[in-house]
Amino acid sequence: MCGILGAINILGEPLVADEGSCRRALTLMEHRGPDDAGEWRSADGSVYLGHRRLSIIDLSAAGHQPMCNEDGTIWIVYNGECYNFKELRAELEQRGHVFRSATDTETIIHGYEEYGAAIVERLRGMFAFALYDSRRHTMLVARDRAGIKPLYYAWAGRTLHLASEIAPLLAMPGIERRLDLRALREYFAFGKVYPPHTMFEGIFKFPAGHRATVDAAGMHQEEYWTPYRTALSFPADAGEEYHAGRLLGLLEESVRLRMLSDVPVGVFLSGGVDSTANVALMSRASGSRVHSFTAGFAGQAAYDERVHARDAAREYGTLHEEIEITRSDLVTELPWLASFLDEPVADPTVIPIYYLSRLARAGGAIVILNGDGGDELFCGYRKYMQFLRLAKPWRALNALPVSVRRVLAGAGRAAGLRGVRADLLDRAARGVEMYVGSTGPLKGTPAFEEIAGRGDELYEAVRSGRATFNREHRSPDYAEWLSYWGVRSEIENVFLYRADRMGMANSVEIRVPFLDHNLIEFAMQMPQEWKHRNGETKYILKRALAGVVPDRFLYRRKQGFNVPLREWAGGAMDAEIRAVLPRLESDWNAFSPAFLQGVLSMLGGSGVDANGALSWMLFNLAVWYRQWFM
């Protein structure tokens, strides 16, 4: 895992950014690559590539980037890991290509020479890269299928700037630091910002599963993968044994591939299904002792999974380390961590992931496997069961005229109805599809209504996601849609974002076995009834792991990686909110004068903020705003 920086003037004119500004921007990503740094500028000055290296594969100087082909006509900066690069290399060597390193980076260069932009579809792993072809003055830009590796871009005149994080882009000439008010409304509503937008006006997320060609006409994006692009075949009589066996095989292979490394590999362990599966399969694959890490919360037994993690560690004989997080850690570390967070994130798990990553790095593990994705792919949350039980009433509700749906939603709000049913009534009234995902603590309040009333774009991402799903694979099965949107929304924009930023804050690479694209395709295309049976979540995954993971881990009540916000909110957290948010309002005039007062009045109460979620969401926003705009 590394940090990349790039710029290309599409007309071939010299860049405005001089060597000093580019070097300063690259330095802002030193945490992403403490082992090496490199820069390259084309002879005509129209292209710049910069790289910070975290050495994982081929630790020698041969892995230095930017990297070029033999005659210096093709250059690349690359962030990620290609797990099938050895197979690709052998194929390319048979076609006459000569390699100078043992890196996966060089495989992409030779692959481009052989296959052009189609090389992206041959890569199995996580990646974001920019490859410049000087013969054509074009740049190929690509991001992995699930969006594990980040990539942002911005235009300054006729120059396209690219980077792994937003901070280096803001350091480049011609890119202004302005708050995107649409994105701010999304954050207040959902606790996150959907792509392609970011909290900075004019800076965009490059979409997952896409590649782009940049030439004199601009940037031409193309989606090269969806979970349904390659149709899988299933025997007509395929039953539980078939699906469980095939799933286990895919997961075993995915874990084995993600242990490919020239530096030590460890695992985050909670004692839940997904993380314990990782440990079990790592132990099988490695034949040596696995290094595991877990975090707990001081004095908060209801949120603490250390007892289960210790049980799993004993079961598999791991070298196990723990860290305890206090209320002070939660509040005092976030202001410093804001420098690593391009955007505020309402998910408090950023704090334990940061501490876990720091513990792993101190323990010598540079690469970490985690369990993100299992719940979304296999209906692992109890809320999935709630939504699926409401599928028939939902269809009946949406058969009613819009005017009737709006009246019902208004009546629900007036009656103080909250939770899943209130949420679905509101979505039906707005013509939004049912989905599992964060709706934000303001949902159902007058403040939310003001946000939603600013325009129809608030739910544009969900509407676009459903339209894409229908176009790719129209299905009446809500489990399939819920899994699809879970991966495209929560996983890509929350879980992977927090893992990347907090891992990289400690120069740790986090890999995600459940998000191997072959496994995603299988989970999305298999008959969905195998995911849930009689209210049991992750049915087929538990069957696949039977005999590999003991039942006490597979069938214990799901706890989740939660943080004691309710118990730890208030105090310094609220003080920061009240000190900073009025500045946000006065600086940008984003809402009505009564909006901020109404939101602040809900803090610390027994209603909207009973679980501390609003305090945390606003605290993140305040800390982030102070870091980037004050």
Domain boundaries defined on the chain = 3-180+194-223, 240-379+482-563, 566-629
Query: What is the mean pLDDT, run by run of 10 residues, along the chain of 630 residues?
Result: 94 96 97 97 97 95 96 97 97 96 96 98 98 97 97 98 98 96 92 94 97 98 94 92 97 97 96 96 92 91 87 97 89 84 89 95 97 93 86 90 92 80 85 81 83 77 91 87 91 93 96 98 94 90 97 82 77 88 89 86 75 88 94
Considering the entire predicted model, what is its pTM?
Answer: 0.95
* Strand pairing report for 265-268 and 291-297: parallel
Of 356, 359, 362, 369, give the one whose Cα is nearest residue 81: 369
How large is the greatest C-alpha to C-alpha distance in the chain, in angstroms? Answer: 73
206 touches 165 (CB < 8 A): no
Residues counted in the chain: 630
* Closest C-alpha among 609, 580, 204 to residue 442: 609
pLDDT value of residue 125:
97
Topology, domain 240-379+482-563: Rossmann fold (3.40.50)
Residue 610: per-residue pLDDT: 72
State residue 607's pLDDT score.
67
Q: Determine the pLDDT at residue 357.
A: 97
Phi-psi group of 338: left, alpha or beta (phi > 0 → left; psi -120 to 50 → alpha; rest → beta): alpha
The CATH number of domain 3-180+194-223 is 3.20.190.10: no
Sign of CA dihedral 84, 86, 91, 92: positive
Question: What pLDDT shows up at residue 500?
Answer: 96
Q: What is the pLDDT of residue 605?
A: 65
Residue 2 annotated to the active site:
yes
Instruction: Using CB atoms within 10 Å of the CB of residue 38, give its burial: 0 to 12 exposed, 13 to 18 middle, 19+ buried.
Output: middle
